[in-house]
């Protein structure tokens, strides 16, 4: 019987007790971060706040990574035995908050509308718990606080370049993300393929502008764009294997003409997402071929930029099975849900491409209190009672994984 197996019941109870004792403190962390959001790669005050808290907890092995990121180590008994990493993201979004709450954003036009404040607060809470019980587990826990999840190239990729997964290298990494469609008190997991890759599409269609009453004198980039938008949908409907989830969406079309003015150019922005890397590459090629054929065939010129973003996210099956079992032990089986594929993207995928990863969801919904808005909306908020699970469960999953062989 290994060290943790002997300690398991007592250690789980201790972690639960500490999570309850520190809940109000973790809520205060979240409220401070929510009131002071910072955009991707500009998380200067956030990074300072995180580092100061880690030092207050007595965690001294802290290292700066990738602009505003941090890594830190909590060493238990026999620290060389195994290393498990825990990750949280810290950046906010360019959204004007509509909530009237005491912790409303004080930075105009910037809001924690994706729950990264809750992720950072939860990991701080887990860090405090784990440091308190470090003499009751074997191995090392690496804390990763990363910047810039919301924009390409993603803070995870930059932290990996900055060797956050080295010295020591973790054998597994766990990440947690709020989910406003799951009730507070529950968590969700999916084994295998879970989230999509994401690419940003930027198209400029150039024609020849003119007076709307004289169509014979111009090359209409608006009409070309209309044909193009419709034609590109065949990438998903007729070119893609229907067994491979794919999404192609265009959210911005800019044609700065008027009722009787045809502009010289039209700019289009969109996103392409899928769960297969070979098809992803083929889709890029096919999109260019279709777009070039239509635009040039109608007399225009095309500039088509594809900014390759995050890869698809895959939860390693054996790690996910162990993590789910540990979550059932901590919360009860009825509070651990199976999730479906989600076509949103997450730069945690970069970590999971390097080491075994498990990215799971923390329920934060409370219909009775009207906390139901989705992420990336001006009214997004969380049920803060969920932060007790957010910190305690993360700590428990870490020590449970350290005990696995």
| pLDDT exceeds 50 at position 1 | no
**pLDDT tens-digit readout, 278-317:** 999 999 999 999 999 999 999 999 999 999 999 999 999 9
**pLDDT tens-digit readout, 45-58:** 999 999 999 999 99
What percentage of the chain has pLDDT greater than the value 70?
Answer: 98
Active-site amino acid positions: 91, 149
Among all chains, which residue has been given the structure tokens 């440091």? 131
Among all chains, which residue has been given the structure tokens 């010289």? 264
Query: Which residues make Cβ contacts (< 8 Å) with residue 374, sequence separation at least 6?
Result: 180, 181, 380
State how far the Cα of 361 lies from the Cα of 55, in Å rounded to an integer.
28
* pTM (2 d.p.): 0.94
Mean pLDDT of the chain: 96
Please give the pLDDT value at position 152: 95
CATH topology of domain 199-308: Alpha-Beta Plaits (3.30.70)
State how far the Cα of 173 lies from the Cα of 271, in Å rounded to an integer.
28
Query: Which residues make Cβ contacts (< 8 Å) with residue 240, sequence separation at least 6?
Result: 246, 274, 279, 283
The pair of structure tokens assigned to 44 is 């200067």
Please give the pLDDT value at position 4: 46
Q: What share of the chain is helix, strand, coil (3-state, %, to 5)?
A: 40, 25, 35
The pair of structure tokens assigned to 391 is 């910190």
**pLDDT tens-digit readout, 329-358:** 999 999 999 999 999 999 999 999 999 999
Q: Domain residue spans in the chain?
A: 3-194+311-403, 199-308
Please give the pLDDT value at position 7: 58
pLDDT band at 9 (very low <50, low <70, confident <90, very high): confident
CATH of the domain spanning 3-194+311-403: 3.40.630.10
**pLDDT tens-digit readout, 93-132:** 999 999 999 999 999 999 999 999 999 999 999 999 999 9
What percentage of the chain has pLDDT greater than the value 90?
Answer: 97
**pLDDT tens-digit readout, 314-326:** 999 999 999 999 9
Distances (CA, A) of 336 to 191, 238, 257, 322: 13, 38, 53, 13
């Amino acid at each position: 019987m290994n060290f943790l197996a002997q300690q398991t019941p007592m250690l789980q109870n201790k972690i639960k007790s500490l999570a309850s004792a520190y809940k109000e403190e973790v809520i205060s962390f979240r409220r401070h971060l929510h009131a002071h959001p910072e955009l991707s790669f500009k998380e200067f005050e956030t990074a300072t706040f995180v580092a100061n808290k880690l030092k207050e907890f007595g965690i001294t092995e802290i290292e700066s990574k990738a602009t505003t990121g941090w890594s830190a180590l909590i060493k238990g008994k026999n620290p060389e035995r195994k290393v498990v990493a825990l990750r949280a993201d810290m950046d906010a979004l360019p959204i004007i908050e509509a909530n009237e709450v005491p912790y409303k954003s004080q930075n105009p036009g910037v809001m924690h509308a994706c729950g990264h404040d809750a992720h950072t607060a939860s990991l701080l809470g887990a860090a405090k718990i784990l440091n308190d019980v470090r003499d009751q587990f074997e191995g090392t826990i690496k804390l990763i606080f990363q910047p810039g999840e919301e924009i390409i190239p993603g803070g995870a990729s930059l932290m990996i370049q900055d060797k956050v997964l080295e010295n020591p290298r973790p054998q597994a990494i766990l990440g947690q993300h709020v989910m406003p469609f799951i009730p507070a008190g529950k968590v969700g997991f999916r084994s295998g393929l879970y989230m999509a890759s994401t690419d940003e599409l930027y198209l400029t269609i150039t024609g020849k502008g003119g007076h709307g009453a004289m169509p014979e004198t111009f090359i209409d980039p608006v009409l070309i764009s209309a044909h193009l938008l419709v034609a590109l949908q065949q990438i998903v409907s007729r070119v893609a294997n229907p067994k491979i989830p794919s999404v192609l969406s265009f959210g911005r079309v800019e044609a700065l003409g008027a009722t009787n003015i045809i502009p010289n150019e039209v700019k289009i922005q969109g996103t392409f997402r899928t769960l297969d890397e070979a098809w992803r590459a083929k889709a890029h090629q096919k999109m260019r071929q279709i777009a070039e054929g239509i635009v040039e065939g109608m007399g225009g010129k095309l500039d088509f930029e594809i900014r390759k973003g995050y890869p698809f996210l895959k939860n390693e099956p054996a790690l996910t099975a162990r993590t789910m079992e540990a979550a059932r032990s901590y919360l009860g089986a009825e509070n651990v849900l199976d999730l479906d594929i989600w076509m949103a993207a997450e730069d945690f995928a970069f970590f999971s491409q390097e080491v075994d990863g498990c990215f799971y969801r923390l329920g934060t919904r409370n219909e009775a209190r009207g906390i139901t808005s989705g992420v990336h909306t001006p009214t997004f908020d969380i049920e803060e009672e969920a932060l007790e699970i957010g910190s305690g469960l993360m700590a428990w999953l870490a020590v449970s994984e350290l005990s696995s062989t």
